[in-house]
C-alpha cells in the first residue's frame, strides 16, 4: 500500500495520479476533510491519523508546506520508506536520511496543471538503489525524473531551480513597470521578448498567464511559499559561504509584497510592489 500525507495544491493531484495509475491501494491523510472527500472517487482511502498511514503503508509520500510540518510528520514514520516531495532545506533531507529506515528527497517543479496532468519535473536525492525503486512510482506524477545525487541533492536542485525562477519573475515585474511608464503595450512587449533572448519559462507562464492579465489567485504557489523557499536557499548559501545578491534582492521584493498584504496571492503578485 502507498501512503500519501499532505493534500494541498500539488499533493492532491499527485495523490490522485498515484491512485489512478499505479494499480496499488492508496491511503491518504490531511488536516482538511475536503481533499480526502474528493479523492474517494479515485479510490483513495482516507486515513484517520498519521499513525494509521505509518502502520498500513510501506511507502509514504509527503507533500507538506515546509520544515516544521515535515519534522512533525516524520516522527511517526521511522520504519517506512519515505519519499519527500515537499520543498525543504538540504540540511533537513540529510538529517532525515540518517534517522529514517529508508528516505529519498524528491521535490517537484512546474505548475499545478502539471501536477494534474502528471507531467511534473522530479528531482531526486538518494541512493541509486532507492532511486531505481522509486522511479516507477514517480513516473506516475512526473515525466522528467532526475537522480541528482545523494540525499539532499534533490532539495538543492529544487531550491536552485526556484531561485532562478523567482529572479526571472522579479526581472519581468521590473520590465513591465518600465513598459507601462514608457507607454508601451505590455502584451506586445511580452510577445516581442518571447521571440528574443529574453524568452523564458517565467515569461511564457508567469508573465503571459498571470502578470499580463493580473491574475493572482489564492490556493496557488503563494508569495509566502516563495519567501519560504528563498529562505532555504539563502540558508544553504550561508553554509556554503556564498553571497547571492540576486537572491537577496528577490527576497526583499517578496518581503515587501508580504508586508503589503499579498502573502496568500500567487507569487507573481510581487509585481504590485515594483
Q: Which residues contact 68 (CB under 8 A, 6 or more apart)?
A: none
| 158 counts as catalytic | yes
Q: How far is CA 188 from the centre of its chain?
A: 31
Q: Which of 103, 94, 106, 186 is nearest to 148 (CA)?
A: 106
Q: Is 186 exposed, middle or buried (0-12, 13-18, 19+ CB in 10 A)?
A: middle
CB 70 within 8 A of CB 50: no
Catalytic annotation, pick one of 55, 56, 158, 180: 158
Strands 142-149 and 120-125, bridge-based pairing = parallel
Q: How far is the C-alpha of 195 from the C-alpha of 108, rounded, in Å?
A: 28
The SS3 call for residue 274 is coil
- The residues that are catalytic are 158
Amino acid at each position: 500500500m502507498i501512503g500519501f500525507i499532505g493534500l494541498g495544491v500539488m499533493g492532491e493531484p499527485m495523490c490522485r495520479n498515484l491512485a489512478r495509475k499505479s494499480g496499488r491501494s492508496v491511503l491518504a491523510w490531511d488536516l482538511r476533510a475536503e481533499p480526502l472527500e474528493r479523492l474517494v472517487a479515485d479510490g483513495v482511502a482516507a486515513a484517520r491519523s498519521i499513525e494509521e498511514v505509518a502502520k498500513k503503508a510501506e511507502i509514504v509520500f509527503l507533500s507538506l508546506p515546509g520544515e516544521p510540518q515535515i519534522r512533525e510528520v516524520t516522527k511517526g514514520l521511522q520504519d517506512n520508506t519515505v519519499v519527500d516531495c515537499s520543498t525543504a532545506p538540504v540540511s533537513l533531507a540529510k538529517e532525515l536520511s540518517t534517522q529514517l529506515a529508508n528516505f529519498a528527497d524528491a521535490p517537484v517543479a512546474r505548475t499545478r496543471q502539471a501536477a494534474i496532468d502528471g507531467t511534473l519535473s522530479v528531482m531526486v536525492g538518494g541512493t541509486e538503489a532507492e532511486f531505481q525503486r522509486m522511479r516507477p512510482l514517480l513516473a506516475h506524477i512526473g515525466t522528467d525524473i532526475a537522480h541528482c545525487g545523494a540525499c539532499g541533492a534533490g532539495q538543492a536542485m529544487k531550491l536552485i531551480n526556484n531561485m532562478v525562477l523567482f529572479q526571472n519573475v522579479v526581472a519581468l515585474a521590473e520590465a513591465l513597470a518600465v513598459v507601462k511608464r514608457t507607454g508601451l503595450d505590455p502584451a506586445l512587449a511580452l510577445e516581442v521578448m518571447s521571440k528574443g533572448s529574453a524568452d523564458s519559462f517565467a515569461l511564457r507562464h508567469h508573465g503571459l498567464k498571470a502578470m499580463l492579465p493580473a491574475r493572482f489567485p489564492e490556493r496557488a504557489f503563494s508569495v509566502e511559499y516563495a519567501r519560504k523557499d528563498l529562505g532555504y536557499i539563502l540558508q544553504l548559501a550561508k553554509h556554503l559561504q556564498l553571497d547571492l545578491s540576486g537572491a537577496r534582492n528577490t527576497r526583499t521584493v517578496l518581503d515587501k509584497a508580504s508586508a503589503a498584504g499579498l502573502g496568500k496571492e500567487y507569487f507573481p503578485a510581487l509585481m504590485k510592489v515594483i
